[in-house]
A = this chain, B = another copy of it.
């Protein structure tokens, strides 16, 4: 279980949203209300677009609430588009290479949830990654494998379609291995221009996901809130869990749904439908000794 947030809008100091917001994500690291676990103390990560080439990432194994560097960076880095993530590890080690966001070129990727019985599926899933990307998998999380599968299956051309193929592939493999309820969670994706999010579970309710409402509506609803009055048209938040208890500020993203927030404030919503992947038998080379 984890919590994440994404911001797309005007340039902000990251700590405006990480630390200075009521029930923000750093607070959620210690006291999540809607998560499967209340504590998300197994590392922190953020990825941001701003100065320099491509996104920067900061990965920390310290709990977000006690990481002195995180406070410094958040207070001194400005960005119009970033993703932040607090982690609750489920079995895999607490190390920087297991912290989200994962990055490939200009793309960032975060996940709240899990691949069920991942140890039973890890080999099959890694085999399905494009061979020349195989060595890029540096950590041991399910999420990093999902990300590289999605890259293999076209993420950079059409992120939501690639995620539908990826989840479909995972569900196909899981069925063969008798793994139930294989995919659970929400995913956040960005290329530095737009922000995509997916909410989906193979079975049962998916982890929660919310988007901030249109800025105009928010301002009209809370004319006396100075913080909200600073929002500009086009500012958009996508979060695992609402930050503040303000009516009208958040809209829940439905189950099995993908959204895309674009510059200017547009929020598109699509049904998310995994594409089952037929499998073919191919000839692979493998050393005899290993297979005997």
**What is the interface of chain A, defined by CB distance below 8 A to chain B?**
13, 30, 38-39, 41-42, 48, 50-53, 55-63, 65-66, 68-69, 72-73, 75-78, 89, 92-97, 118-120, 122-124, 126-131, 134-135, 137-140, 149, 152-153, 165, 169, 172-173, 277-291
Pairs of residues from A and B, 5 with the lowest C-beta to C-beta distance, nearest first? A56-B76, A52-B76, A128-B290, A119-B135, A123-B134
The answer to whether B286 and A128 touch across the interface, beta carbons within 8 angstroms, is: yes
Asked whether, in the complex, the Cβ of B97 is within 8 Å of the Cβ of A140, the reply is: yes
Identical subunits present: 4
Our pick among B62, B135, B139, B277 for the contact of A61 (Cβ within 8 Å) is B62
Q: Enumerate chain B residues within 8 angstroms of A42, measured Cβ to Cβ.
A: 63, 66
Given A39-B39, A51-B13, do A277 and B288 touch, yes or no (CB 8 Å)?
yes
Q: From B51, B139, B169, give the contact of A290 (CB < 8 A).
A: B169
CB contact between A72 and one of B58, B120, B282 (< 8 Å): that residue = B58
**CA A42 to CA B78, docked complex, whole Å:** 28
Chain A to chain B contacts (Cβ below 8 Å), 17 pairs: A52-B77, A56-B75, A58-B72, A60-B69, A61-B62, A63-B63, A93-B138, A95-B97, A118-B135, A127-B284, A127-B290, A137-B140, A139-B140, A277-B289, A279-B285, A282-B283, A283-B283
